[in-house]
Structure 1
Amino acid sequence: MVEYKIRSYRRSDYEVVRDLFSHGMSEYVPGVCIHVVTRPWVLFVISCMFLTLLCSSKSLILPVLAVTLVLALGRHVLGYCWSLYIDHCLKDDLQDIQKTYMEEQGSHFWVAEVEDRVVGTVAAKPSDEDEEELQLKRMSVRKDFRGLGIAKALSREVMGFARERGYRSVVLNTLMVQREAQRMYESVGFTKYMEFVLPTIYGNLVNFTISKYRYDVLPEK
């Protein structure tokens, strides 16, 4: 069993924390691509293109190559769009982690260490929607250290922080491709209370769903 410890963020963790977040989010690109390709209208368009080229060319090679090219192009575009989202996060709250989480009232940032190596992160800050809610953010665990209870321990760190500071609940958002994370949150007591499609043209086209979870903080007995 791997031994790990959870501690508060230090300035010296800056680069490794940002790198951990970037790599963790990049892992979702294949899942996003599969989600988009399996939308009914996308399958319909691809099927129509394939059949049209098959009938007009009388050859199987051309339609297969065309579909392959379209899928490869779509994968590239989706990967680029996802990288823009990652860059946005890096330039937002992760631009100055010390100021955003360690100096702001009611906020904090933790890292999980294994043999002095940062392998996990999580952050908390007051919710923009309700002053009695604490928002859990930036949960990430290195792929080769998952399944060891680190994510659960980081979640409980946020729960304890919320309880100590008198928050009524802890809330968080997950994307439709984060099924493993959703199961982990549910295992430590979070419940889904809302699900909605991103209110943009792109969000509606690909059914880009966001699930909101809540953990109700109970006072210590």
Structure 2
Amino acid sequence: MTSLNGAGSNGNHPEEAEMVEYRIRSYRDSDYEEVRDLFSHGMSEYVPGICIHVVTRSWVLLAMACMFMSLLLSSKSLILPVLAVTLLLALGRHILGYFWSLYIDHCLKEDMLDIQQTYMEASGTHFWVAEAEDRVVGTVAAKPSDEDGEELQLKRMSVRKDFRGFGIAKALSREVIGFARQRGYRSVILNTLMVQREAQRMYESVGFQKYKEFVLPTVYGHLVNFTISKYRYDVLPAK
């Protein structure tokens, strides 16, 4: 268990520095609902960013522009094309949100279904929570990488929105790094999505370095340029 004080800026008034007291400790069964709720809400926040990413693809913009002009020329009215584009955007937002919710449900039914068994009982794994004001405000997990047994993978990083900016995510990241160092892992790795720019900056400030970037190898991934960036923190000198 690690006790820490975090300093940061209030989200509404960034010029006013405030303090928040929190502690990082191991996961307990009593945290189950809070942890899953925090994960779900945190992941849901990316829907608007994903929608913007998809809409700003050149082929999507071209398709909408062609539809707009076709309706404008055929109807000789501005109302119909504007309404059509608005409805199309709303439908696209609904579809993307639906598929993203399926991904969240998949995670909740996989490693997040039995957190105790997945992360607290298996060898080389662990799950931490950040606690403040008698509630869970942050989470992070670690498990051996499926690709390299000498690498530890950082997973399930999430911080409650009103507790961001106080260094909690950085402290959770360092907890994983310390865990990796104690157990002799060569490095800590993690994946981020193209819309997780704030998280990427945070990881880079801790010392993680991007070493690979690729488009999700699916038709949908290539269609919307769904990019995944892989980061690494070298705990031990490279061989």
Indicate the TM-score class for this superposition, using the shorter chain for normalisation: over 0.9
Matched, 1:72 2:96: no
Q: What per-residue deviation string (whole Å, max 9, x for no partner) do you get for residues 188-221 of structure 1?
A: 00000000000000000000000000000048xx
Kindly, what percent of the aligned residue pairs are identical?
A: 85
Secondary structure of the residue that 2:20 maps to in structure 1? coil
1:116 shift after superposition: 1.8
Aligned partners of 1:124, 1:62: CA distance in 2, in Å?
A: 52
Matched, 1:168 2:172: no
Aligned partners of 1:82, 1:175: CA distance in 2, in Å?
A: 13
Aligned partners of 2:24, 2:236: CA distance in 1, in Å?
A: 22
Higher strand share: 2
* Counterpart among 107, 128, 131 of residue 89 in structure 1: 107
Number of equivalent positions: 219
Give 2:164's aligned amino acid.
Answer: R
Aligned partners of 1:118, 1:190: CA distance in 2, in Å?
A: 25
Secondary structure of the residue that 2:166 maps to in structure 1? coil
Aligned partners of 1:63, 1:121: CA distance in 2, in Å?
A: 45
Aligned partners of 1:154, 1:116: CA distance in 2, in Å?
A: 18
Q: What per-residue deviation string (whole Å, max 9, x for no partner) do you get for residues 131-166 of structure 1?
A: 000000000000000000000000000000000000
- Report the counterpart of residue 135 of structure 1 in structure 2: 153
- Report the counterpart of residue 47 of structure 1 in structure 2: 65
Q: What per-residue deviation string (whole Å, max 9, x for no partner) do you get for residues 172-198 of structure 1?
A: 000000000000000000000000000
Cα RMSD (Å): 0.7
Aligned partners of 1:210, 1:88: CA distance in 2, in Å?
A: 18
Secondary structure of the residue that 2:222 maps to in structure 1? helix
TM-score, normalization by structure 1: 0.98
- Report the counterpart of residue 219 of structure 2 in structure 1: 201
Runs of 4+ aligned structure 1 residues displaced above 6 Å come to none
- Report the counterpart of residue 152 of structure 1 in structure 2: 170
1:108 shift after superposition: 0.0
1:115 shift after superposition: 2.3
- Report the counterpart of residue 15 of structure 1 in structure 2: 33
* Counterpart among 42, 45, 56 of residue 38 in structure 1: 56
Give 2:224's aligned amino acid.
Answer: V
Aligned partners of 2:75, 2:31: CA distance in 1, in Å?
A: 58
TM-score, normalization by structure 2: 0.91
Aligned partners of 2:35, 2:115: CA distance in 1, in Å?
A: 9
Secondary structure of the residue that 1:3 maps to in structure 2? strand
- Report the counterpart of residue 131 of structure 2 in structure 1: 113
* Contact 2:185 2:236 (8 Å CA) reproduced: no
Q: Which runs of 5+ in 2 are unaligned?
A: 1-18
